[in-house]
Amino acid sequence: MATSYHNLSDYNPNTMPPKEWLHNQRYAIVVADWNREITFSLCEGARHTLEQHGVQPENIILMHVPGAFELSYAAARLQKEEDVQAVIAIGCVVRGDTPHFDYICQGVTSGLTQLNCTGILPVIFGVLTTDTMQQALDRAGGMLGNKGVEAAVTAIKMANLRSY
């Protein structure tokens, strides 16, 4: 369904694993500092959702990187070095006047996809790729909800895929 018809923060909480399952689980969030007004809001949405579903605040690892392109490297390090159930990669790339947008989006998508195909735990794509800053704002707590909430819900479901 097209995002313009779907609030990213809407989901059925009855489809989530029980809170007691998540009490001792650990999750990592890697967030790009570029477009921080967007990414920090997405990160807060993800963090709040993890906690709302039973993840203890001290079991949420937060790592910052300069921009979206660096998300793949950081996610790979978190996969290897941290005992976590899933990694949530959060970034925001807004189209500009040069092909830079296309290269960054392709690189991030390919890198995170590769980690999902060859890695040992899920890496969740919480990267906004929008044409305008307004579209990003709408998806980072604005009229279309918060993509960070969706990313956290996805992380919980994927981390517990075999359990329920």
Domains by residue range for the chain, with CATH:
53-159 (3.40.50.960)
**pLDDT by residue (tens digit) across 35-67?**
999 999 999 999 999 999 999 999 999 999 999
Check the CA dihedral 65-67-70-74 and report its sign: positive
Positions annotated as catalytic residues are 100
pLDDT bracket for residue 163 (50, 70, 90):
low
141 dihedral zone (left: phi>0; alpha: psi -120 to 50; beta): left
**pLDDT by residue (tens digit) across 97-150?**
888 889 999 999 999 999 999 878 999 999 999 999 999 999 999 999 999 999
Quick one: which of 90, 95, 93 has its CA closest to 151? 90
Mean pLDDT of the region 77-101: 93
pLDDT bracket for residue 1 (50, 70, 90):
very low
* Residue ranges in 5-99 assigned as alpha helix (H): 19-22, 36-52, 71-81
With 0.85 as the threshold, say if the pTM is over it.
Answer: yes
CB-facing half-sphere around the CA of 53: CA atoms within 13 A = 28
pLDDT bracket for residue 10 (50, 70, 90):
confident
* Residue ranges in the chain assigned as alpha helix (H): 19-22, 36-52, 71-81, 100-118, 133-139, 147-159
Spatial distance between the Cα atoms of 75 and 8, rounded to a whole number of angstroms: 23
